Amino acid sequence: MDGLHPTNIITDQDGAMRSAILATFPNSCHRNCRWHIMQNFQPVLGNDMAKNEDLRREFNEIIDHSMTEDEFERRWAEMIIKYNVGDNTHLKDVYDLRSSFVPAYFRDRFFPFLQTTARSEGFNAVLKRYVRPHNSLVHFFRQYMKLQEKIEVAEDGNEFEMEEKTLRMWGEWPLEKQAIQVYARPIYLRFRAEIRKVTSYNANLVEGHLFDVVPITGSVYGYGKRSYRVEANMQESTYTCECSKIKRDGLLCCHALRVMAQVGVVGYIPPHYILPRWQMPPEDIVTQKVDLPDVPSDRKLSIKERKLIRYGTLCNDFTGIAKVASESDKSKAIADKYMLALSNELNSMKLSEAAK
């Protein structure tokens, strides 16, 4: 990595790993996996939460949707008093770990899409299904190769699905059309989900460039029941939301998009909000263009020159068709069908002319 330290690191609660990261990468932001922490506390907290559903909901709400450290501290203290759980040692243990996993402490750090429990332990969890600590090194490599093959098959399946299924826009905003063109498929789907959530909010002008984005009814998935403050600077095309999704995930949030709709700025996504890492990968196939002969316009073309121009033009046109047709088996089959028909018609024409 050319001597560069990672900006952010996420691990489980392994103490030795924490010490090593602190010593080796002192300037990196290290956080623990929330999934791990909740799994570890589930056996001891589960019984308490099962007896008090309101406490469970508020506990998760405070952890997930507190915007700042001060807000988390305030809401946690209110929860302890409200439910009279000050003597609960398990909740105190969770509180003591707050700075290592609660999102409010990492609101402005780039940890994209790591809030969902679906990722859990990621590759580490998958690997554990294939190997055990007592296995030999030879067995480990054999199992690793099987796992690699399984992953490659899954990737091929994803690519096939992308080729065979055409993405459809959810709405009519021009910026969504831009998103479907510039974002890789998984990122576009996440962005489309944010566009859909725009309909769950109203935007109220507070003063100047400040807006309160308020949920219309109930809870919004991923954002809870709270309102969010958005500052819009139309001259610089900047939209700052306290949810910090643009910093955390590298995507505009539904709150910023709601304000953009309010002020009528839905023609395009500001370029500084389109991260290169989320864009479509570069084309695998680079089409080669045939250079056409440069013939002065003030003289008549020779037969050879006209033939070369026709040939070059056809090559360029067919190269473009071949690039599109190579996207999937279906598109190639269509191209093959018409190429066969074209070939037959051209051969018939040549035979007909030869017989004259």
Helices (H), the chain: 15-24, 34-51, 53-65, 69-83, 89-96, 98-101, 123-128, 137-164, 174-182, 185-197, 245-248, 254-263, 303-325, 329-355
pLDDT at 177: 92
Q: Tell me if 91 is assigned to some domain.
A: yes
Q: Are strands 201-207 and 210-215 parallel, antiparallel or unpaired?
A: antiparallel
Q: Tell me if 197 is assigned to some domain.
A: yes
Residues 79-117 have pLDDT tens digits of: 999 999 888 898 999 999 999 999 899 988 898 887 544
Asked if residue 236 and residue 141 are part of one domain, the reply reads no
Asked if residue 96 and residue 25 are part of one domain, the reply reads yes
Residues of the chain with pLDDT under 50: 116-120
Q: Tell me if 109 is assigned to some domain.
A: no
For 233, the enclosing helix (H) or strand (E) is: strand 228-233
pLDDT at 222: 86
The structural domain count of the chain equals: 4
Asked if residue 273 and residue 180 are part of one domain, the reply reads yes
Asked if residue 215 and residue 192 are part of one domain, the reply reads yes
Contacts for 81 with CB less than 8 Å, ≥ 6 apart: none
Q: Tell me if 291 is assigned to some domain.
A: no
Residues 252-292 have pLDDT tens digits of: 999 999 999 999 888 999 999 999 999 987 766 667 777 77
pLDDT at 165: 65
Q: Residue 146 sits in which domain range?
A: 126-164
Asked if residue 333 and residue 247 are part of one domain, the reply reads no
Q: Tell me if 296 is assigned to some domain.
A: no
pLDDT at 71: 93
One-character DSSP codes across 197-225: HGGGEEEEEEETTEEEEEESSS-BTTTBT
Asked if residue 207 and residue 141 are part of one domain, the reply reads no
Burial group, residue 240, by CB count within 10 angstroms (0-12, 13-18, 19+): middle
pLDDT at 120: 43
Tell me which amino acid residue 326 is. S
Domain termination site, one of 278, 293, 322: 278
Q: Tell me if 110 is assigned to some domain.
A: no
Asked if residue 234 and residue 183 are part of one domain, the reply reads yes
Domain termination site, one of 141, 164, 187: 164
**Chain position carrying tokens 């600077």:** 233
Asked if residue 68 and residue 45 are part of one domain, the reply reads yes
204 close to 214: Cβ distance less than 8 angstroms: yes
Q: Residue 283 carries which DSSP code? A: P
Residue 294's alpha-carbon distances to 12, 30, 161, 334, 353, in angstroms, are 65, 62, 45, 35, 31
What pTM was estimated for this model as a whole?
0.68
pLDDT at 183: 93
Q: Tell me if 323 is assigned to some domain.
A: yes
Asked if residue 178 and residue 274 are part of one domain, the reply reads yes
Q: Tell me if 116 is assigned to some domain.
A: no
